[in-house]
Amino acid sequence: MNMEEQNGSTGAGRREEAQPEEVCPGKKGKLDLEAAKARIAETKGPEFWRSLEELAGSEEFQQMMHREFPKGASEWLDSVSRRGFMKLMGASVALAGMTACTKQPLEPIVPYVKQPEEVIPGRPLFYATAFTFGGYATPLLVESHLFRPTKIEGNDKHPVSLGGTDVYAQASILEMYDPDRSQHIVHLGDFKSWSNFQHDLRGALDAQQSSHGAGIRILTGSFSSPALADQMHSFLAAYPAAKWHVYDAVSRDNVTAGAQMAFGKAVDAQYQLQNADVIVSLDADFLYAGFPGFTKYARDFARRRNPDAGSMSRLYVVESTPTSTGVKADHRLPVLASEVEPFARALASAVGAGASGGSLSGDQAKYLAALSRELQAHRGSSIVIAGPQQPAVVHALAHAINQQLGNVGKTVVYTDRVVATGEAGLLQDLVADMRGGKVQLLIIMGGNPVFNAPTDLNFADALKNTNIPFRVHLGLYQDETAELCHWHINEAHYLEAWGDTRAFDGTVSLVQPLIAPLYDGKSQYEFMASLLGQWQTSGHEVVQSYWQKQHPGADFEMFWRRSLHDGFIAGTAFAPVQVSAKTGGFPAASTSAAQGTEINLRPDPSIYDGCFANNGWLQELPKPLSKLTWDNCLWMGPAMAARMGIEKRDLVQVDFNGKSLKLPVWIQAGHPDNSVTVFFGYGRVRAGRVGTGTGFNVYPFRSTSVQWFGSGAKVTKVSGNYILASTQGYQTMDAGDESRPNVRTRTLDEYRKEPGFANADAPPPGLTLYPGYQWQYKNEPYEWGMTIDLNACVGCNNCIIACQSENNIAVVGKEQVNHGRHMHWLRVDAYYQGDRDNPRAYFQPVPCMQCENAPCELVCPVGATTHSTEGLNDMTYNRCVGTRYCSNNCPYKVRRFNFFLYTDWNTPQYKMMRNPDVTVRSRGVMEKCTYCVQRISEHRIDAERENRKIADTELQTACQQSCPANAIVFGNINDPNSQVTRLKKNQRNYGLLDDLNTRPRTTYLAEIRNPNPELEA
């Protein structure tokens, strides 16, 4: 199978010729942006839309809404689609062949002489460990079935994690089992052994002894590991002329420089959102994964958004590209990225924190006036947070404002820096040394600078053409950087290795392996030990001996075991430091006028900087706002698109920073005018079978001076278009009566006046044509139900990946997604309301509603979907014959059908990864959310054995457990005291499409906004 076949029709050379398939709104017909605008103007009362096509009321959209699957989805003999998903099967086919040809060694299988304590087949164990991302830890509990890690959960005992995770941590288990991970040590294309490498390394190090290591350079990403930092310092002490450099494609350099500018010292800020009445984001997407502290911030934010428990906070977001945080804003101000600094200056000036005011437009000045009054009125209970893509001065101004408002110590505290890489040099200095012939031994530990370094550095050329005699790459993949190094060492995954790492508050977590390295990889600790001449030292010895030095007492063993068990070392959080921000003397504002269109450069919300490009779960995860999968694109606002006569999927040529690229367009409601956003991370050429060739590489637009945004981009419409597989508009539910929309929302004042607005005209309980035939749940021990709080949900998508991991949900590939055949059991719909240029937006997670009067059950000809005595809408896969009547009759469109054999049954690694408690489905069956029935069964068996009932909150569904915002609550609604029962009695509780009398067991808590009356008027 060649690459074009594997990619369907999306090979790079064929992009412009790609013909859109007529399957979905937005993929067919002309989108009339002016009609959308006119429709908004005519709108009276609340009206919600999921796509601009819906807003424009296009004929295609009307057709789509009345189909369960998009047009074409039910065509079975579709050779193009078949090829598309076969790409994903490539790994399994290759590996199946490999195993078939390889004679497995004969090994005796003997029973245990002594059964290991607590290892019982069928009973998982949980181990505490931590995932490190961008240098910061996400503390975890990992489920292990007979020493195979199968599911990631957050560590609920950790002081800052509190049990939440993010999409990257959840999906990291798929990365560990990825058959495309590097499996060998490679030297100039040949497989070699670790001892071969150590022999050559010893020679290279010996040659550096006389110069004290003057020719040695080490390049790493940011890390916070105390033990690794200790090793690095030992190495630099042994080779004092050697140099260490740090590079992260998604760097926090501006954050650090801003603190340095404000305090004269680099410190980290920790925000206490639970104490804040007014929160201001200056281009900071702190409610999405990747922002250090995200899981805690999401939970603390959600806690203060409950209109029924104390005062609600108010969120102002000034942002240059639409984000999840902007969706949650009570007041969102779209601005150019370059306008955030003048706004921050004006805000600082208005609250008396120095800085001369920046010039603002009329709308911006109005917004600023109301905001500054609000901040002045909430001294000590407000926060201003700046985003990492904004320049240092914006961070310094945010620190000055917080200090001026008396917020320090109340809503924001400062600590020493968590990352341990403060003294390392920059990438540009390394490249200068490489080009200057000063480097003889270059060690690249993690990262992929050949792919993601600033384009002006031309790192690939510096690596290839500067005659560095010994170049080593340690990494999880044989990627673009590995290709240009003499040696590539396959790295052990964090789930296979020992380590330590710090959370954003400084608390240290020990990283313990869940499994022996699948491919005999080496960790960074083992690699550094070899650099230190400790040739046989294991990662475990490195980490344990470091902590033995920190905790030398006789109780070390107890300390070590307790820390491993708990997942963190108690008392290691950083204490706040006292710093004083300057409130004047900021650098003068730039006077040069912006030219042309402004361009924002952002990491992709799914595959980040490209490091997760080979992760099928993340590739297929609909991005929070566009719902795009498997691709990146260029975002522009509706006004700019209308001016340029551009439609979604059209190709444009972008000229910026001396580079020219053709990119497909996505018209994103709420995007600022005269500005576009591109997302980097795609366009990999050596990612692996899943990620290679997907999307477009926009890194060439980035340079050392333009990392995040710049003006002067030229955007020109060119001929051709490109297929974008977005799930936006799929599974659209017909609310019918617009007075009962799918998302129900009011302002806080309106809610107080009319608290029962959400369910005022819900059908009366017990409405039925067949009285006396209802099941009497009160006679059963359990009746399951769920609530989802729209106020709390931040749209982070974590529940989708958690559900996918728990329930062995297959990845189907871009072509199949484009046919509407994606298999997610849970989706997070994004709704918009009002002005297309700055709409309000809402997230709504939609799993199976587990209806009491389930329309699906009545139409199944073989009784494959039936009702349980505990109220679950069960699915019996073995009975399903694939008529899909149930799906057609589901008003919520939550049933997913296996049109093909999507599940990879052959790849040995994936067999190890699957949850053994959940059926692995084959072709031709309907599947859907089960409320994690396997978890219910496990707890029911435990409770029966112990002669008790399942306690409230003892049992959590996978989506609930992963949710950092605690938006999902599941439990027994037969228990009058359960959390879910109490929430279902809440005045905000309503059922989706409940006028159909389906009696959904999953209900929603309506979203309440807390706008400033001054701005709302």
Residue 798 touches ligand SF4, criterion: CB under 6 A: yes
DSSP 553-616: STTHHHHHHHHHHHTS-TT-SPPP-------S-PPPPP-PPP-SEEEEEEEBTTTBTTTTTT-H
In the complex, the smallest distance separating the C-beta of residue 432 from ligand SF4, rounded to whole angstroms, is 43
- The tokens for 414 are 């400062």
Backbone angles phi, psi at 348, to 5 degrees: -60, -45
> Which of 176, 218, 329, 828 is in the footprint of ligand SF4 by CB under 6 A?
828
Residue 793 touches ligand SF4, criterion: CB under 6 A: yes
Q: Which of 840, 835, 785 is nearest to 989 (CA)?
A: 785
* For ligand SF4, the closer CB: 445 or 828: 828
Binding mask 274-313 for ligand SF4 (x = CB under 6 A): ----------------------------------------
Stretch that binds ligand SF4, among 52-60, 900-908, 960-968, 981-989 (CB under 6 A): 960-968
In the complex, the smallest distance separating the C-beta of residue 182 from ligand SF4, rounded to whole angstroms, is 32
Residue 830 touches ligand SF4, criterion: CB under 6 A: no
* For ligand SF4, the closer CB: 389 or 957: 957
Residue 544: C-alpha distances to residues 510, 548, 552 (Å): 10, 6, 11
> Which of 929, 968, 969, 1008 is in the footprint of ligand SF4 by CB under 6 A?
968
How far apart (Å, rounded) are the C-alpha atoms in residues 497 and 499? 7
Stretch that binds ligand SF4, among 416-424, 576-584, 790-798, 991-999 (CB under 6 A): 790-798
Stretch that binds ligand SF4, among 120-128, 556-564, 667-675, 794-802 (CB under 6 A): 794-802
In the complex, the smallest distance separating the C-beta of residue 621 from ligand SF4, rounded to whole angstroms, is 11
In the complex, the smallest distance separating the C-beta of residue 801 from ligand SF4, rounded to whole angstroms, is 9
CB 451 within 8 A of CB 610: yes
**Total interface residues for ligand SF4 by CB under 6 A:** 15
* For ligand SF4, the closer CB: 424 or 793: 793
In the region spanning residues 156 to 175, those forming contacts with ligand SF4, defined by CB under 6 A, are none
Residue 536: C-alpha distances to residues 194, 527, 528, 531, 628 (Å): 11, 10, 11, 11, 47
> Which of 795, 847, 871, 1000 is in the footprint of ligand SF4 by CB under 6 A?
795
In the complex, the smallest distance separating the C-beta of residue 798 from ligand SF4, rounded to whole angstroms, is 4
* For ligand SF4, the closer CB: 812 or 828: 828
Residue 315 touches ligand SF4, criterion: CB under 6 A: no
In the complex, the smallest distance separating the C-beta of residue 624 from ligand SF4, rounded to whole angstroms, is 8
Residue 965 touches ligand SF4, criterion: CB under 6 A: yes
- The tokens for 807 are 């329930």
Residue 621 touches ligand SF4, criterion: CB under 6 A: no
In the region spanning residues 190 to 229, those forming contacts with ligand SF4, defined by CB under 6 A, are none
- The C-alpha angle 276, 282, 285, rounded to 5 degrees, equals 80
> Hey, is 675 helix, strand or coil?
strand
Stretch that binds ligand SF4, among 10-18, 431-439, 610-618, 965-973 (CB under 6 A): 965-973
Q: What is the 3-state secondary structure (H, E, C) of 415-451?
A: ECCCCCCCCCECHHHHHHHHHCCCCCEEEEECCCHHH
Residue 622 touches ligand SF4, criterion: CB under 6 A: no
Residue 797 touches ligand SF4, criterion: CB under 6 A: yes
> Which of 698, 796, 880, 973 is in the footprint of ligand SF4 by CB under 6 A?
796
Provide the CB-side half-sphere exposure for 433 (13 A, CA): 22
DSSP 974-1004: TSTTSHHHHHHTSTTEE-TTGGG----SEEE
Distance from the first to the final alpha carbon of the chain: 61
- The tokens for 270 are 């920790």
Residue 967 touches ligand SF4, criterion: CB under 6 A: yes
In the complex, the smallest distance separating the C-beta of residue 745 from ligand SF4, rounded to whole angstroms, is 16
How far apart (Å, rounded) are the C-alpha atoms in residues 113 and 108? 14
- The tokens for 407 are 């917020």
* For ligand SF4, the closer CB: 725 or 967: 967
Backbone angles phi, psi at 46, to 5 degrees: -70, 140
Residue 799 touches ligand SF4, criterion: CB under 6 A: yes
**How many CB atoms neighbour CB 169 within 10 A?**
27
How far apart (Å, rounded) are the C-alpha atoms in residues 455 and 505? 34
* For ligand SF4, the closer CB: 676 or 828: 828
Stretch that binds ligand SF4, among 343-351, 631-639, 928-936, 958-966 (CB under 6 A): 958-966
* For ligand SF4, the closer CB: 688 or 845: 845
Q: Which of 200, 260, 247, 179 is nearest to 219 (CA)?
A: 247
In the complex, the smallest distance separating the C-beta of residue 2 from ligand SF4, rounded to whole angstroms, is 38
* For ligand SF4, the closer CB: 247 or 612: 612
Q: Which amino acid is at 292?
A: P
How far apart (Å, rounded) are the C-alpha atoms in residues 198 and 192? 11
* For ligand SF4, the closer CB: 530 or 844: 844
Binding mask 415-434 for ligand SF4 (x = CB under 6 A): --------------------
* For ligand SF4, the closer CB: 542 or 965: 965
The H or E element containing residue 510 is strand 508-511
- The C-alpha angle 887, 889, 895, rounded to 5 degrees, equals 25
How far apart (Å, rounded) are the C-alpha atoms in residues 471 and 483? 11
In the complex, the smallest distance separating the C-beta of residue 799 from ligand SF4, rounded to whole angstroms, is 3
* For ligand SF4, the closer CB: 313 or 697: 313
Stretch that binds ligand SF4, among 471-479, 539-547, 963-971, 995-1003 (CB under 6 A): 963-971
Residue 963 touches ligand SF4, criterion: CB under 6 A: yes
Residue 929 touches ligand SF4, criterion: CB under 6 A: no
In the complex, the smallest distance separating the C-beta of residue 281 from ligand SF4, rounded to whole angstroms, is 17
CB 636 within 8 A of CB 646: yes
- The tokens for 375 are 């901040």
Q: What's the residue count for the chain? A: 1017
* For ligand SF4, the closer CB: 699 or 843: 843
Sheet with 968-972: list strands edge to edge.
Answer: 968-972, 784-789, 1002-1005, 989-990
Rg (CA), the chain: 28
* For ligand SF4, the closer CB: 574 or 832: 832
* For ligand SF4, the closer CB: 154 or 672: 154
Stretch that binds ligand SF4, among 515-523, 588-596, 686-694, 797-805 (CB under 6 A): 797-805
DSSP 121-164: TTB-EEEEEEEEETTEEEEEEEEEETTEEEEEEE-TTSTTTTT-
* For ligand SF4, the closer CB: 294 or 708: 294
Q: Which amino acid is at 751?
A: Y
Q: Quick one: CA torsion of 364, 367, 370, 371, rounded to 10 degrees?
A: -100
Chain centre distance of CA 808: 19
In the complex, the smallest distance separating the C-beta of residue 894 from ligand SF4, rounded to whole angstroms, is 15
* For ligand SF4, the closer CB: 294 or 477: 294
How far apart (Å, rounded) are the C-alpha atoms in residues 631 and 620? 9
In the complex, the smallest distance separating the C-beta of residue 668 from ligand SF4, rounded to whole angstroms, is 19
* For ligand SF4, the closer CB: 759 or 957: 957
Residue 804 touches ligand SF4, criterion: CB under 6 A: no
* For ligand SF4, the closer CB: 139 or 454: 139
Residues at the site binding ligand SF4, with contacts judged by CB under 6 A: 793-799, 828, 843, 845, 962-963, 965, 967-968
